[in-house]
Amino acid sequence: MTASPQLDPTPASITDPRETIISSEDLGMVFAAGSVVALQEVNFEIKRGEFISLIGPSGCGKSTLLRIVAGLLTPTGGTLSVKGEPVTRPRPDIGMMFQKPTLLPWKSVMDNVMLPKTLGGRVTKEDKEKAVALLHLVGLEGFEFSFPGQLSGGMQQRVALARLLNTGAEILLLDEPFGALDEFTRERLNVELLRIQREVKATILFVTHNIQEAVFLADDVFVMTPRPGRLTEIVDVGLPRPREMAMMKDADFNQRVFEVRDILGGTI
Amino acid sequence: MSTQDRAGSTDRSGVPHWAQHLLVFVIFISIWEMAVQFNWVSALILPSPFAVIVAWWDLAITRGIIWGHFFTTLTEVLVGFIVGATFGIGVAILSAINMTFRRLVSPYMVALQVTPRIAIAPIIVAWLGFGMEPKMAIAAIICFFPMFINALTGLMQVDHENLEMFESMRASKWQIFRHLQLPGALPVIMAGFKTGISLALIGAIVGEFVSASEGIGVLIQRFSFQLLLPEAFASLIMLTAMGLFLYGLATFADRHIVFWRHSDLVNKISRRMRAKNAGLAGIKPLE
């Protein structure tokens, strides 16, 4: 095992904000002994601090791509590199969040958020205070010692987000994190996610099947198409930040939404 | 459990639930007593509730001879259950973490499941003699299987995304077992406790029936042979009481080990944790 040079990445480690942090070269993934081509010739570069939305219909390989970046799956062709090194296993500077909150119901909200620290060794008072601060950041002040079963779905995902931030990862992979929530909760969490990203200066890969959500959040929208899974087009959103819900009424915003829909239209 | 019959709960009739239960009990006992008093059934076959109470009073209070038997059986059940549960959960853990082990033991597990385990009682008695040990062994063997199967089911039902979450945090196999697999299996393991402890009681009684000089099973057999049915019934009631006590014990353990399934306990624990960590920066005390 090659020890990673950055065990606790902090925003201070950012030297060149426009440096490429993730790159994919002819990435391919074939499942079930050659019968299912999940990904084919996927090429892209992601710069540090970018917010990328990954959109496409079911079976386009977006979740597979995310799991390759996470080091949970090994590609069958090409290379996926983070900071110039091919990813072969989960890395400390990459964290992942899922559609389900994946909280441990027997641990308090605090203890769930501290899970990355618990796995890393002993939990200190500083770790606890960091967890409290993260819970405040995601808007869960006063719920530190509640249990997951007492929280709504939206609040559970906030806990999951705080836990993700507590891994100290600077690359955050989000697999339809708000997909199971109602529309209002999802919109509010999206706005908050952008605020949090500004604060922690993370690079984010966000999988969704909601076009408006994809455009609203991203710098670039990666549009993927299925059978075989390909990265068909990269749409540069180019809308100003910070973004607010009101922006969804703008002509420019809707222009981008139509653009993405057109690309997807031929495939669905 | 939210559907649990809580003391003081009522329904549309306005009659509290405990009163309804009491009414049914009184009717049941009255019919039984009348059946004997009016000779619908011979008192030799079915002793009246009153006769049973008199017999119980004699055995438990006046002569007090039943308690030694009671605690003999209880000890057999508890030791047998602890041994059976330890082995059952232990083998389940080994099976859950090692596929080869699981493959190799599974035929024996199936064999153990399809064999009527009670039939092994005479053999165990032949091996271990007439003391408490064979009863403990029979109780252990009978409750081993449900404990094993519940623990294995619980340990194997790990959610895929939860597992990926742990892997993405680079958790070791041991950490995944310790923080995800084992606690996640506890609800199913504890459900097995309730079945297992009742089966352990059956095992101990069967052992006593086969051969013993002490225990409630011995009393029931002896009184029945002598046609002392009020005494036999009084002994049986002691077993019902023991069963209820054991079931209560399992329920208590379940509530406190799988506390997160019980909202009243969760609220209490949550408040206690908040109070304990009140000194932490950023924590507001409860108003």
What's the 3-state SS for A215-262? HHHCCEEEEEECCCCEEEEEEECCCCCCCCHHHHHCHHHHHHHHHHHH
Chain A residues inside the 8 Å CB shell of B277: 110, 128, 144-145
Query: What is the structure's pLDDT at A208?
Result: 93
Amino acid, single-letter form, for residue A248 = M
Find chain A residues with C-beta within 8 A of B273's C-beta.
108, 110, 145
Q: How far is A63 from chain B (nearest CA, A)?
A: 12
Question: In this complex, is the C-beta atom of B257 within 8 Å of any C-beta atom belonging to chain A?
Answer: no
B178, B183, B185, B188 alpha-carbon torsion, rounded to 10°: 150
Nearest residue on chain A to B262, alpha-carbon basis? A149
Mean pLDDT to the nearest integer, B52-61 = 94
Could you say which DSSP state residue A149 is in?
A: G
**pLDDT in the model for residue A13:** 46
Residue A244: its pLDDT value, please? 87
Q: Select the residue from B159, B170, B180 to test the A interface by mutation, using most A Cβ atoms within 10 A.
A: B170
Chain B residues in contact with A102 (beta carbon < 8 A): 159, 161-162, 165
Average predicted confidence (pLDDT) for chain B: 91
pLDDT tens digits, A158-167? 999 999 999 9
Q: Are residues A115 and B161, on separate chains, in Cβ contact within 8 Å?
A: no
Point out which residues pair with A233 in neighbouring strands. A223
| Cα gap B130→B132, rounded to integer Å | 7
At the top level of CATH, the class of B69-258 is mainly alpha
Instruction: Point out the residue among B165, B261, B282 whose CB comes nearest to the CB of A132.
Output: B282
CB contact under 8 A, A102 and B162: yes
pLDDT at B91: 95
Q: Name residues whose C-beta falls within 8 Å of residue A16's C-beta, 6 or more positions apart in sequence.
A: A48
Closest partner residue to B282 (CB to CB) among A104, A129, A147 is: A129
Per-residue pLDDT of chain A (268 residues; tens, 9 = 90+): 344 344 444 444 445 557 899 999 999 998 876 678 889 999 999 999 999 999 998 888 899 999 999 999 999 999 999 999 999 999 999 999 999 999 999 999 999 999 999 998 888 999 999 999 999 989 899 999 999 999 999 999 999 999 999 999 999 999 999 988 888 888 889 999 999 999 888 999 999 989 999 999 999 999 998 888 889 999 999 898 889 888 889 999 999 999 999 998 865 4
For chain B, percent of residues with pLDDT exceeding 70: 96
Q: Hey, are the CB atoms on A144 and B277 less than 8 Å from each other?
A: yes
Report how far residue B161's alpha carbon sits from residue A71's, in angstroms, rounded to the nearest whole number.
Answer: 14
**Chain A residues with CB-CB distance to B269 below 8 A:** 147
What token pair was written down for A30? 């074939």
Give the tens place of pLDDT for each residue, B80-112.
999 999 999 999 999 998 999 999 999 999 898
Cα–Cα distances in angstroms (integers) from residue A161 to residues A88, A127, A174, B268, in the given order: 24, 16, 9, 26
Cα(B102)–Cα(B95) distance, integer angstroms: 4
The sign of the dihedral angle between the CA atoms of B125, B130, B135, B136 is: negative
Q: Are strands A220-225 and A203-208 parallel, antiparallel or unpaired?
A: unpaired
Tell if the pTM clears 0.95, that is, is over it. Answer: no
Instruction: Please report residues of A whose CB lies closer than 8 A to that of B183.
Output: 104, 106
Residue in chain B nearest A150 by alpha carbon = B263
Does the pLDDT value for residue B1 go beyond 50? Answer: no
- Distance from the A20 Cα atom to the nearest Cα atom in chain B, whole angstroms: 22
Give me the pLDDT at residue B285, please.
64
Q: Give domain limits for chain B.
A: 69-258
Q: Which domains does chain A have, with CATH numbers?
A: 20-93+171-193+202-268 (3.40.50.300), 99-168 (no CATH)
Asked whether residue B191 carries a pLDDT value surpassing 60, the answer given is: yes
Locate tokens 């994809």: which residue?
Answer: A214
Residues of B in contact with A110 (CB under 8 A): 273, 277
pLDDT for residue B18 is more than 50: yes
Mean pLDDT of B19-40: 93
- Residue ranges of E strands in chain A: 20-31, 36-47, 51-55, 77-82, 85-86, 94-97, 171-175, 203-208, 220-225, 230-236
**C-beta atoms surrounding B34 within 10 Å:** 11
3-state helix, strand, coil in chain A (%, to 5): 35, 25, 40
* Residues ≥6 apart with Cβ < 8 Å to B90: none
**Pairing mode, if any, of strands A220-225 and A85-86?**
unpaired
pLDDT band, very low/low/confident/very high, at B280 (cuts 50, 70, 90): confident
Q: Which residues of B touch A72 (CB under 8 A)?
A: 164, 167-168
State the DSSP H helix or E strand holding residue A163, giving kind and residue range, or none if neither.
helix A153-166
The per-residue pLDDT for range B172-182, each reduced to its tens digit, is: 999 999 999 99
Give A121's contacts in chain B (Cβ within 8 Å). Answer: none
The answer to whether residue B11 scores a pLDDT higher than 90 is no
Side-chain half-sphere exposure of B276, counting CA atoms within 13 A:
10
Strand partners, A220: A52, A236
Structure tokens at B29: 């006992």
Tell me which residue of B195, B199, B73 sits closest to B142, measured CA to CA: B199
The string of pLDDT tens digits covering residues A12-48 is 444 555 789 999 999 999 887 667 888 999 999 999 9
Q: Tell me: the pLDDT tens digits for B130-147?
A: 889 999 999 999 999 999
The DSSP output letter for B120 is G
Which of A72, A100, A108 is closest, CB to CB, to B168? Answer: A72
C-beta separation of A163 from A117 below 8 A: no
| Distance (Å, whole) CA B267 – CA B262 | 9
Mean pLDDT, residues B264-272 = 92
Mutation target among B165, B178, B265 for the A interface, most CBs of A within 10 A: B165
**Cβ contact, residue pair A90, B168, below 8 Å:** yes
Specify the amino acid at residue A208.
T
pLDDT band of B20, cuts 50, 70, 90 = very high
- On whether the CB atoms of residues A41 and A61 are closer than 8 A, the answer is no
Q: Do B282 and A108 touch (CB under 8 A)?
A: no
How far is residue B196 CA from its own chain's centroid?
Answer: 6
Interface test with B, best of A145, A161, A164 (most B CBs within 10 A): A145
CA distance B224 to B91: 40
